[in-house]
Amino acid sequence: MALCAAPWRSTSDGKSRGRHSAMADKHGQSTLYHDTLTRAWLYLVAAAMTDYMEVSDFDEFLRRHPELLDKNCLLRYYSAEQLSSAQARSGWLSPDLHPIPGAPGSARPQVERQGTTEALSVPAEEFRLALQCVPRPVAVMTARDATRVHGTTVGSVAPVSTEPAQLFVSVRRDSRILEIVRASRGFGVSYLGKDQESVAIRFSDQRRGEGAEQFRDIPHVVGRFGAPIITGGPLWFECRLRDEYAAENHQVILGIVIAEAATDTEPWQRFRGVWA
């Protein structure tokens, strides 16, 4: 880094600062990204200088590496969401797309969280597009306690083990169903069939109301824990609550399967962005 410190200072009031300012202005908070952008740029310069150690004139060096003057250069390593995050406003921010050439190990894309080191996740949109490559069935999660009953459409249900039979369901942490599941210690999961699109729509509609009215005219039976089990689909499970885990803005509910029933009905699912 010392090799590029002097030429960096000699040009910091010119091209490089203009590049930083334009990049920061694009995402707001012009002065808050200085540490990240400066350090990242220096790492790139250091990596580039290993190819041109004999170049003593910094202008000549930049002519050989015009990409370093591209104000969008760092978007190869940082997503716009990452640069706009709260973490970006508190100091150095590790890249979330690719490692920055020339960066030491401590500056590679990792983040400290609750005492462990975890790789940063791929961008949300990239993850959503990837998930479209496999069929995803739709289900309705239901629960009932002494005074309340509720159902909600869920798209994240998966088996965990077979001995004992367990599955998990992921729901938003502000979902009304969570308190009812905790109170009753049980819940139902009903996979929907191809002709049950209206059921999925109802239980995802924030205006559907509360209580038993949600289930009006929807065929169902009552499970062991009192939860309505929606019939007419390919498969349903009734589960006893075993545990739950926080996952950012979602809560992962782990249940032990105590009852199930399957039919030959084709499931309603989403594949490559199309419901079928």
CA distances from 19 to 7, 16, 78 (A): 16, 5, 15
Helix (H) or strand (E) holding 42: helix 34-49
Cβ atoms of residues 177 and 126 within 8 Å: no
Where are the extended beta strands (E) located within the chain? 110-113, 116-119, 136-137, 139-144, 149-154, 157-162, 165-172, 186-191, 220-222, 228-230, 235-247, 250-262, 269-271, 274-275
Mean pLDDT of the chain: 78
- Give the pLDDT of residue 7: 38
pTM value?
0.57
Neighbours of 89 (CB within 10 A): 15
Domains of the chain: 2-108 (no CATH), 132-275 (2.30.110.10)
pLDDT band at residue 76 using 50, 70 and 90 as cut-offs: confident
Instruction: Say which residue, 274 or 146, is predicted with more confidence.
Output: 146
Instruction: Say which residue, 15 or 182, is predicted with more confidence.
Output: 182
> What is the average per-residue pLDDT within 154-168?
93
Q: Which of 145, 129, 126 is nearest to 187 (CA)?
A: 145
Report DSSP state, residue 267.
B
- Give the contacts of 215 (CB within 8 A, at least 6 positions apart): 149, 151, 228
Determine which of 102-111, 132-141, 186-195, 240-249 has the lowest per-residue pLDDT on average: 102-111
Most confident of 117-121, 188-192, 265-269: 188-192
Separation between Cα atoms, residue 218 and residue 231, nearest integer Å: 8
Cis ω for the linkage preceding 135 (within 30 of 0): no
- Give the pLDDT of residue 84: 76
- Give the pLDDT of residue 72: 75
pLDDT(176) > 70: yes
> Residue 139 pairs with which residues in a beta bridge?
154, 191
Separation between Cα atoms, residue 10 and residue 248, nearest integer Å: 45
- Give the pLDDT of residue 65: 73
Instruction: Say which residue, 34 or 240, is predicted with more confidence.
Output: 240
Matching residue, tokens 């050989």: 64
Angle between helices 34-49 and 15-26 (to 10 degrees): 130
Separation between Cα atoms, residue 267 and residue 234, nearest integer Å: 6
